[in-house]
Amino acid sequence: MLTKKQLIEFSDEARKNYLDHISIDCVVFGFHEGQMKVLLLQPHDEKKWLLPGGFVMKREPIEQAANRILKERTGLDKIFLQQFYVFGDPDRAKFHSDLYKDTLPDHENWFSNRFLSIGYYALVDFFGVVPQPDQFSETCTWRDLDDMPELLLDHEQIFKTALDALRLQLNHQPIGYNLMPREFTMPELQKLYEAILGKKLDRRNFQRRILGFGILNRAEQPRKGGAHKAPYLYSFDLENYQNALTEGFRGGW
Amino acid sequence: MLTKKQLIEFSDEARKNYLDHISIDCVVFGFHEGQMKVLLLQPHDEKKWLLPGGFVMKREPIEQAANRILKERTGLDKIFLQQFYVFGDPDRAKFHSDLYKDTLPDHENWFSNRFLSIGYYALVDFFGVVPQPDQFSETCTWRDLDDMPELLLDHEQIFKTALDALRLQLNHQPIGYNLMPREFTMPELQKLYEAILGKKLDRRNFQRRILGFGILNRAEQPRKGGAHKAPYLYSFDLENYQNALTEGFRGGW
DNA sequence: TCAAAAGTGTTGAGGATACACCCATGG
DNA sequence: CCATGGGTGTATCCTCAACACTTTTGA
C-alpha cells in the first residue's frame, strides 16, 4: 500500500500522462516442464494476487501500451499479444478505490476512477522472462495453471475469460509457436495441447495429426542424453504455420 | 454538421454525462429476403456512411450503453449483443475532430477527444426494427451486405472485424435464433448460413446436418399459399440450442 | 533383459459429400 | 404437363479414434 504522499504523486502523474477510465490487464501464459504457467503479482501486505496491468498513455496505441507494460514485468520486447475482451462493470475495481478511501478523498485519488479494462493474453517463452514486480507489488512470479491462488478485483473472471479465448483460438492463432522454445519434441508439444485443453490426448493420433498439418520441420539429430529412446526434435515451419492458421485447423481435439 | 451553438451544447452535455475517451460502435445485422443487412447512418451533407454508435454514461455498464444506443436507433429492447473488439488507434477518429476544427477549438470540442471504441455486433429481427436517425444523421437504413457503401472513420475495419467474428462464432452463438423470425423454412435458414459464410451449401446435406443437431422443432402445418411444394415450418428448440452451443457444433461448413 | 519412452502401422465406425429420386403446385 | 421448389434416400470417401507392434535406451 502506498503512503499518502506516494499516492498523491502517482495520481498527479497519472492524470498528466494516462487516459482516464482505461486500463489494461494481461494474462501472460508461459509453458515449462509440462505445465502451463501464468504470471502473477502479489501486492504489498496482501494475500491475494493480481494480473499484471497498467494504463494507456494519452496518445499511445493500446497494443503498444500492453507491450510497454509487459516489457516492465518480463523484460521482453515484441511479445505476442491478443486482445480478448473489455471488462466494463462500473464497480469492477471497487477493491482498489476502497483501499485508499481513508488516505485520500476520491476526487484526488486516481484509483477511485472507474476503469474499463482491456484484456490481453500474452504468449511468451518461459525462459526469456525475468519477472519484475511493479511499485505496488511485493513479488512477481509464475504460478501453475492448476495451482492458481485467489485473485483480487475481477481478475479471476479476466483470467478465466482469457483461458477460454486461448482454447477457442488454439486452431487459429500461433499458440504453439509462441509458447514453445525453438526446438522441442513431439511429447512436449503434446503436453502443451493437453495443458491448454485440460484433457489427455492419444499420443499416436496427436503426432499424426500435427504432422499432417505440415507445419513442423524435423531436425536431423534426435535429442541425446535422456533415458529411453531418443525423441526427434521439431521446430515450426513459420510460413506453413501462418498459412494453415488463416484457414484454421479443421476439426476438434 | 452541427452549428457552433449545437456543438457547444452537445460537448457540455457530453462532458457532464459520458466517460471521456470511450465510445461504442455497433454492427447491427438483420436478415431479409435471403440477404444479410447492416444498419447504417448517413450524416447530414455526407456521401459516406457510419455505423450506429454512442457513448457510455459515467456509471453505466457498457453492455447497457450499447443496448441504450441501439434502442434509440431501432426501437428494440433486449437486443442480442456480442462484444468483439476494441479499436484503439490514437488517430482513428481524425475525420470527426477535423470536421469541426474551424468551428470550435479542440479543447472545447468533445469530438476532438481521443476515443477508444468498443465494437459490438447485434443480431435483430429485421421486421422488429424501425430505423431512426440520430441528431447527426440524415437517414438510418438497412444496407445489403454485398452492396455496402463507403464508410467513414475506421468503420470499414470495424464492420469487417464484426463479420469475421460472426463467422467464427457461427457454431458457438445463437446466431440463427436471433436473426430468423420465430418460424421459418429450411431453405430460408440455409440462405442465412450461405449469406454469413459467403458460399453455397448443398440443400440436402444442410438439412440433414441441421436436423441432426436436434435444435429445431417442425410445425405440424407446412406453409401454404406459395407456389410449388409447401415447405415445412421450423422453430428453434431453445433449450437444446443452448446446450448444443456450449459444446459448439462440430466440424466446418 | 526388462521397463519405459518413443516411432510407425492398421482397422473400423461415423460423418461428410455428391449424387438420384420422388412429391407438390402454379402457370 | 412441366418447370421449379422442396422433401427423402443412398453410395462413396475420408477423417478420426482406438487399437498393436516395433525400436531404442538406461538401469
Give yes or no for residue A251 having a pLDDT over 70: no
Nucleotides of strand D lying closer than 7 angstroms to a protein CB: 3-10, 15-20, 23-27
Quickly give B246 CA vs D9 C1' distance in Å: 32
Using only C-alpha atoms, chain A has a radius of gyration, in whole angstroms, of: 21
Quickly give A128 CA vs D13 C1' distance in Å: 47
- CA A38 from chain centre, in angstroms, equals 6
Grid cell, residue A71, equals: 516489457
pLDDT in tens, B37-69: 999 999 998 999 999 999 999 999 999 999 999
Distance between CA atoms of residues B246 and B108, nearest Å: 48
Q: Return the pLDDT at A23.
A: 96
- Asked if residue A57 lies in contact with residue A51, where contact means CB atoms within 8 angstroms, the answer is no
Nucleotides of strand C lying closer than 7 angstroms to a protein CB: 3-10, 15-20, 23-27
Confidence band for B93, pLDDT divided at 50, 70 and 90: confident
Bridge partners, B218 (sequence order)? B234
Q: Give yes or no for A253 touching B (CB within 8 A).
A: no
Distance between CA atoms of residues A154 and A93, nearest Å: 7
Contact A88 B118 (CB under 8 A): yes
CATH number listed for the domain at residues A4-168: 3.90.79.10
Closest by CA to A169, choosing from A89, A237, A246, is: A246
Grid cell, residue A95, equals: 477493491
Quickly give A74 CA vs D21 C1' distance in Å: 47
Q: Return the pLDDT at A139.
A: 95
Distance between CA atoms of residues A113 and A96, nearest Å: 9
Contact B61 A88 (CB under 8 A): yes
When CB atoms are compared, the residue of B21, B88, B118 closest to A21 is B21
Give yes or no for residue B117 having a pLDDT over 90: yes
Averaged confidence pLDDT in chain A: 91
Closest by CA to B193, choosing from B82, B34, B81, is: B34
Q: Return the pLDDT at B156.
A: 97
- Asked if residue A152 lies in contact with residue A59, where contact means CB atoms within 8 angstroms, the answer is no
In eight-state DSSP terms, residue B97 is: H
CATH number among 1.10.3210.10, 3.40.50.12280, 1.10.10.10, 3.40.1710.10, domain A182-247 = 1.10.10.10
| Most A CBs within 10 Å, among B62, B169, B173, to test the A interface | B62
Mean of pLDDT values over B137-145: 95
Closest by CA to B39, choosing from B148, B166, B182, B161, is: B148
Distance between CA atoms of residues B144 and B132, nearest Å: 18
Number of Cα atoms under 13 Å in the Cβ half of residue B67 = 10
When CB atoms are compared, the residue of B114, B118, B248 closest to A86 is B118
Distance between CA atoms of residues B113 and B100, nearest Å: 12
Bridge partners, B23 (sequence order)? B55, B117
Which nucleotide is at minimal CA–C1' distance from A229?
D24
When CB atoms are compared, the residue of A86, A89, A252 closest to B250 is A252
Helix (H) or strand (E) holding A209: helix A203-212
Distance between CA atoms of residues A112 and A227, nearest Å: 57
Confidence band for A249, pLDDT divided at 50, 70 and 90: confident
Closest by CA to A116, choosing from B103, B23, B251, is: B23
Closest by CA to B176, choosing from B235, B127, B121, is: B235
Mean of pLDDT values over A44-58: 95
Bridge partners, A107 (sequence order)? none
Mean of pLDDT values over B76-97: 91
Instruction: Give protein residues whose Cβ lies within 7 A of nucleic acid chain D.
Output: A 202, 204-205, 209, 212, 225-230, 250-253; B 185-187, 203-204, 207-208, 222, 226-229, 231-232
Closest by CA to A211, choosing from A183, A240, A175, is: A240
Closest by CA to B140, choosing from B228, B69, B66, is: B69
Q: Return the pLDDT at A10.
A: 93
* CA-CA-CA-CA torsion sign (B159, B163, B169, B173): positive
Contact A114 B58 (CB under 8 A): yes
Helix residue ranges, H only, A62-202:
62-74, 94-99, 155-168, 175-179, 186-197
Q: Which residues in chain B are contacts of A168 at CB distance < 8 A?
A: 172
- The domain ranges of chain B are 4-168, 175-247
Within chain A, how many helices (H) and strands (E) appear?
8, 8
- CA A116 from chain centre, in angstroms, equals 18
Q: Return the pLDDT at B250.
A: 64
Distances (CA, A) of A251 to A167, A248, B35, B218, B249: 13, 9, 29, 29, 10
pLDDT in tens, B142-177: 999 989 999 999 999 999 999 999 988 888 888 999
In eight-state DSSP terms, residue A222 is: P
Grid cell, residue A30, equals: 508461459
Quickly give A230 CA vs D26 C1' distance in Å: 11
Give yes or no for residue B227 having a pLDDT over 80: no
Residues 65-94, chain A, touching B (beta carbon < 8 A):
83, 85-86, 88-90
A177 CB contacts (<8 Å, ≥6 apart)?
Answer: A236, A238, A241
pLDDT in tens, A156-178: 999 999 999 999 888 888 899 99
- Give the domain B175-247 fold: Arc Repressor Mutant, subunit A (1.10.10)
| Most B CBs within 10 Å, among A15, A17, A18, A19, to test the B interface | A19
Give yes or no for residue A98 having a pLDDT over 90: no
Closest by CA to B86, choosing from B168, B156, B15, B161, is: B161
Mean of pLDDT values over B79-87: 96
When CB atoms are compared, the residue of A21, A89, A250 closest to B19 is A21
Helix (H) or strand (E) holding B210: helix B203-212
Quickly give A238 CA vs C24 C1' distance in Å: 56
pLDDT in tens, A4-41: 999 999 999 999 999 999 999 999 999 998 899 999 99
Residues 92-121, chain B, touching A (beta carbon < 8 A):
114, 116, 118
Provide the shortest C-alpha distance from residue A179 to chain B (in Å). Answer: 23
Provide the shortest C-alpha distance from residue A121 to chain B (in Å). Answer: 14
Give yes or no for residue A97 having a pLDDT over 90: no
Helix (H) or strand (E) holding A234: strand A234-236
pLDDT in tens, A197-221: 999 999 999 999 999 888 999 987 7
Q: Give yes or no for B59 touching A (CB within 8 A).
A: yes
Grid cell, residue A77, equals: 520486447
Distance between CA atoms of residues A180 and A131, nearest Å: 18
Give yes or no for residue A222 having a pLDDT over 90: no
Helix residue ranges, H only, B84-185:
94-99, 155-168, 175-179
Q: Return the pLDDT at A187.
A: 93
Q: Return the pLDDT at A95.
A: 81
Which residue's CA lies closest to nucleotide C4 at its C1' atom?
A: A228
pLDDT in tens, B21-41: 999 999 999 999 889 999 999
- Asked if residue B18 lies in contact with residue B59, where contact means CB atoms within 8 angstroms, the answer is no
Quickly give A154 CA vs C12 C1' distance in Å: 49
- Which of A65-79, B172-186, B233-247 has the lowest average pLDDT? B233-247
Distance between CA atoms of residues A232 and A221, nearest Å: 7
Closest by CA to A186, choosing from A218, A213, A214, A212, is: A218
Q: Return the pLDDT at B97.
A: 76
Closest by CA to B57, choosing from A91, A96, A90, A112, is: A90
Number of Cα atoms under 13 Å in the Cβ half of residue B64 = 9
Confidence band for A93, pLDDT divided at 50, 70 and 90: confident
Give yes or no for residue B16 having a pLDDT over 70: yes
- Rounded to the nearest 5°, which phi and psi values hold at B234? -125, 155
Q: Give yes or no for B61 touching A (CB within 8 A).
A: yes
Instruction: Give protein residues whose Cβ lies within 7 A of nucleic acid chain C.
Output: A 185-187, 203-205, 207, 222, 226-229, 231-232; B 202, 204-205, 208-209, 212, 225-230, 250-252
- Rounded to the nearest 5°, which phi and psi values hold at B205? -70, -35
Q: Return the pLDDT at B253.
A: 67
